[in-house]
Amino acid sequence: MKKELPGTVLWKDYLHITLLFVLCSVLLLTRKQAEERFMETFLEKEREEKTVIVIDAGHGGEDPGKVGTANTLEKEINLSIAQKAAQLLSENGFFVVMTRTEDKGLYSASSQNKKRDDLAERVRIITETAPALTVSIHQNSYPTAACKGAQMFYYKGSVEGERLARTLQSVFPEILKDNNRREAKANSEYYLLRKAPCPIVIIECGFLSTPEEEALLVTEEYQQKVAQAICTGIARYLEQSPEGRIENNGDKNCTN
């Protein structure tokens, strides 16, 4: 009989190790799938019970949006305010879907028309989500440095879009206390306003072309106030909705 040397690894040992590895992988995979299924069911249930809001942070990736006098990039301010608004809305009982959560455009690397594909993807997300409403967050710019204050844009002819825009427009100066007298404005050209199948408002939070407003817009504190105005405006709009869609949500003044 052939004598086995101590410390020699046999093919049988390899087989045992391989089998053990396969078994562990199967167990881990099954557990992962179970966890994923649980999360899917949990989110579906939560979504059914809550009012769904889409928060769209404008631009991203290769598209910086407007560039401020101190080189502030609109895409970064948009995302930061969008995340703060989403957090506040979630804390106040809404189910929030964001079109982007990182500095990324919504197009493929091989896209021939990134801007068009990016906007089409945003519309696809909004359409699939079918929310109660959507707000798209942007920053403004103007050739002269005297323009200040947030302004809302809604799709011309959309009754609910206009009501949402007017509600948000009235809440902003209430919370930011900046004497902003701008009025919500109708627009029939913006792609997102034309294509989104739900009340939608583009929120131009402020002017990056005005140094003092740009200096405010980069601070966490001011961004938080803007987020609070967005959340409060949305809650107030829904509270006044004929269908009373806010019944599952909290106070009309969103808290920090």
> Residues interacting with Zn ion, by CB under 5 A?
58, 65, 138
User: In angstroms, rounded to a whole number, what is the distance separating the alpha carbons of residues 80 and 95?
Assistant: 18
Smallest distance, Zn ion to C-beta of residue 59, A: 6
Q: What is the 3-state secondary structure (H, E, C) of 29-73?
A: HHHHHHHHHHHHHHHHHHHHHCCEEEEEECCECCECCCECCCCCE
Smallest distance, Zn ion to C-beta of residue 205, A: 10
Question: Phi/psi zone of residue 149: left (φ > 0), alpha (ψ -120 to 50 degrees), beta?
Answer: left
Smallest distance, Zn ion to C-beta of residue 139, A: 6
| Complex with Zn ion: residue 77 or 184, whichever CB lies closer | 77
212: CB partners within 8 A, 6+ apart: 148
Which amino acid belongs to residue 184? A
Residues found in the chain:
256
User: In angstroms, rounded to a whole number, what is the distance separating the alpha carbons of residues 150 and 147?
Assistant: 10
Smallest distance, Zn ion to C-beta of residue 140, A: 8
Smallest distance, Zn ion to C-beta of residue 88, A: 21
| Complex with Zn ion: residue 117 or 239, whichever CB lies closer | 117
| Complex with Zn ion: residue 51 or 141, whichever CB lies closer | 141
Q: Please provide residue 86's backbone torsions phi and psi, each rounded to the nearest 5 degrees.
A: -60, -40
β-strand 151-155 against 185-187: which pairing, if any? parallel
| Complex with Zn ion: residue 119 or 175, whichever CB lies closer | 119
Q: Whose CB is nearest to Zn ion?
A: 138
| Complex with Zn ion: residue 61 or 93, whichever CB lies closer | 61
